[in-house]
Structure 1
Amino acid sequence: MKAEETVEIDLFGKTSIADAMIITSGRSQRHVGSIADKVIQEFKSRGFGAPRVEGMPACDWVLIDAGDILVHIFRPEVRHFYNLEKMWGADRPADQTAHRLAN
């Protein structure tokens, strides 16, 4: 589906909401919706059942909650505004503290 700037963030041990978060972008609302449709179909076809989905009517930000995996699909300017990579990424202060304590 040619999603852009896809990143995976390992959440295992950081939160109980999921084990992994995937963040990606589509070029337009239509592209975001198409990517989301494909991801939902793949979850279903691989036997994961029907994930919970939010944001499909507007397609600025679609959240697909498949239990252990969260998939966020954004239009680029919406992704930049919310900046989930910074919020959940490895540069979080708690992660830096844990890294320093481990070394």
Structure 2
Amino acid sequence: MVCTVFYCPTKGKEISVIISHDKLSISCPQELKAFVEKSLDEDKAIDVVTIELDPNAALADYMIVASGTSSRHVLATAEKLKDRLLARGIKNIKLEGTENADWVIVDTGDLIVHLFRPEVRSFYNIEKMWSTPGQFDVVGAPQSA
């Protein structure tokens, strides 16, 4: 195990990164965001939207909203994401809504993931509630001005 110190611009300080078995642990909110987006893409999540939250808000740095094709898909995606995050050294991950799996929340502290069935997502429309116009776009699509 090797420990290296890097500067993280969003935290404004140096952070330790532990390299173990050729895997880099996730150390910055941006790395966490990219890792979660990739995980959701691998699990075929639909319409993945990333919202950068107000830095003055204590809630989180990012919110990611995505859909699954069914309750089973939503639950499986949330559980796989939790397992992958644990494997990368992220601790204290909270899952909410696993009973019905219509809307499952994966909370890592720095990032909150909302996974919905499509009809539940359109009903609550949390992207509109948490963002400003033009702030977010579907991952992989060019961002509009």
Using structure 1 for the length normalisation, give the TM-score: 0.84
Query: Which residue of 2 is the match for residue 52 of structure 1?
Result: 94
What's the C-alpha RMSD, in Å, of the aligned pairs? 1.7
Alignment of 1:61-80 (within 5 A): 61-80=103-122
Alignment of 1:1-80 (within 5 A): 1-13=43-55, 15-80=57-122
- Runs of 5+ unmatched residues, structure 1: 96-103
Structure with greater Cα Rg: 2
Q: Is the 8 A contact 1:43 1:50 kept in 2?
A: no
The structure with the greater share of residues assigned to helix is 1
Letter in 2 for 1:81: F
CA distance, structure 1, for counterparts of residue 80 and residue 47 of structure 2: 17
Residue identity over aligned pairs, in percent, reads 46
Letter in 2 for 1:24: A
Offset of 1:79 from its aligned partner?
0.4
Q: Paired residues, what number?
A: 93
CA distance, structure 2, for counterparts of residue 12 and residue 39 of structure 1: 24
The structure with the greater share of residues assigned to strand is 2
- 1:1-51 deviation per Cα after TM superposition (whole angstroms, max 9, x unaligned): 100000100014252100000000000000001110111111101101140
CA distance, structure 2, for counterparts of residue 32 and residue 18 of structure 1: 22
Q: In structure 2, do the counterparts of structure 1 residues 79 and 39 end up closer, same or farther at CA, with 3 Å as the change threshold?
A: same
Q: Which runs of 4+ in 1 moved over 3 A?
A: none
- 1:58-98 deviation per Cα after TM superposition (whole angstroms, max 9, x unaligned): 0000001100100000000100011011001122xxx9xxx
Higher RCO (CA-CA < 8 Å; seq separation 6+): 1
CA distance, structure 2, for counterparts of residue 68 and residue 43 of structure 1: 12
Letter in 1 for 2:44: K
CA distance, structure 1, for counterparts of residue 56 and residue 122 of structure 2: 23
Query: Which residue of 2 is the match for residue 82 of structure 1?
Result: 124
Paired residue secondary structure (1:22): strand
Using structure 2 for the length normalisation, give the TM-score: 0.61
